[in-house]
């Protein structure tokens, strides 16, 4: 399986009970509300002021914007990250994932956009040697998608499997909303439909590539110079559970 360049950021461990738990939740709720209302990533100091908590206390729970936004996204997408399916049909499992989780992307769109914004901002600062906090690393979708395509994976050569995995990661998350809503002005329902349509197209492409790779190459003398294995007839698409 393809490896990530960086491991995703882990959220701070929330206190279980008492005053500490109440303070943690108050800061987190304030951050969630500020992002939803204002559309920008608040500083830890701003969250402290709005929550009527001292800055020193706030920084003990969230020492940086990275820690704050990691907690915000964990609260927003926690249930999504725990989804699992025992469906043996790989395509159906991907459909389940998209149809069950895209409504939550819509619900927490401002928070997800803020996380993408922070990641891009820190990318530039890190390249310039100006980043003064630990970077916020995204990537939980990798494990989620790995589970979704598990029934299809044995049907694919490793290179094709990894290509499908990576390609699906481009269209699963907040990115389709940013492009299709901001540039095209589409509504959420159409964003969902296009994302699912792209997922189907990628699965079909992976299966076609796997079929072509399984065909033996034609003898050089029997094929014109312009003919390659990819030009040979391909077997019909087969996916688990589909007839």
Are the CB atoms for 72 and 32 separated by under 8 Å? Answer: yes
| pLDDT computed for residue 1 by the predictor | 61
Closest CA to 136 of 75, 82, 64: 64
Within the chain, all domains assigned CATH 1.10.10.60 are found at 11-63
Q: Using a cut of 0.85, tell me whether the model's pTM lies above it.
A: no
Longest dimension (CA), the chain: 81
Give the Cβ contact number of residue 4 at 10 Å: 12
| pLDDT computed for residue 2 by the predictor | 66
Q: Which residues contact 164 (CB under 8 A, 6 or more apart)?
A: 149, 152, 156, 202, 203, 205, 206
Tokens of 110: 């401002």
Task: Judge residue 197's burial from the number of C-beta atoms within 10 Å of its C-beta, 0-12 exposed, 13-18 middle, 19 or more buried.
Answer: exposed
Please state, in angstroms and rounded to a whole number, the distance separating the CA atoms of residues 64 and 125.
15
pLDDT values of the chain reduced to their tens digit, one per residue, 243 residues: 667 788 999 999 999 999 999 999 999 999 999 999 988 899 999 999 999 999 999 999 999 999 999 999 999 998 888 889 999 999 999 999 999 999 999 999 999 999 999 999 999 999 999 999 999 999 999 999 999 999 999 999 999 999 999 999 999 999 999 999 999 999 999 999 999 999 999 999 999 999 865 545 555 444 334 444 444 444 444 444 444
Q: Cα–Cα–Cα angle for 126, 146, 11, nearest 5°?
A: 45
Pick left, alpha or beta for residue 235 (phi over 0 → left; psi -120 to 50 → alpha; otherwise beta). Answer: beta
Please state, in angstroms and rounded to a whole number, the distance separating the CA atoms of residues 27 and 14.
11
Are the CB atoms for 171 and 144 separated by under 8 Å? Answer: no
| pLDDT computed for residue 45 by the predictor | 97
| CATH fold label, 11-63 | Arc Repressor Mutant, subunit A (1.10.10)
């Amino acid at each position: 399986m393809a490896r990530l360049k960086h491991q995703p950021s882990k959220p701070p461990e929330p206190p279980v009970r008492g005053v500490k738990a109440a303070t943690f939740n108050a800061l987190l709720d304030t951050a969630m509300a500020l992002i939803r209302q204002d559309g920008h990533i608040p500083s830890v100091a701003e969250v402290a002021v709005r929550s009527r908590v001292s800055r020193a206390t706030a920084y003990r729970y969230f020492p940086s914007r990275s820690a704050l936004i990691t907690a915000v996204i964990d609260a927003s997408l926690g249930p999504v990250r725990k989804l699992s399916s025992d469906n043996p049909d790989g395509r159906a499992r991907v459909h389940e994932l998209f149809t069950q989780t895209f409504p939550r992307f819509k619900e927490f769109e401002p928070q997800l956009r803020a996380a993408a914004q922070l990641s891009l901002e820190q990318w530039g600062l890190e390249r310039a040697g100006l980043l003064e906090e630990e970077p916020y690393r995204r990537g939980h979708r990798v494990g989620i998608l790995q589970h979704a395509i598990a029934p299809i994976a044995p049907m694919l050569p490793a290179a094709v499997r990894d290509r499908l995995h990576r390609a699906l990661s481009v269209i699963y998350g907040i990115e389709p909303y940013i492009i299709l809503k901001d540039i095209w002005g589409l509504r959420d329902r159409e964003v969902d439909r296009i994302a699912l349509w792209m997922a189907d197209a990628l699965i079909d492409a992976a299966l076609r590539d796997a079929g072509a790779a399984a065909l033996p190459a034609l003898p050089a003398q029997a094929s014109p110079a312009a003919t390659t294995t990819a030009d040979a007839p391909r077997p019909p698409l087969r996916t688990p559970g589909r007839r």
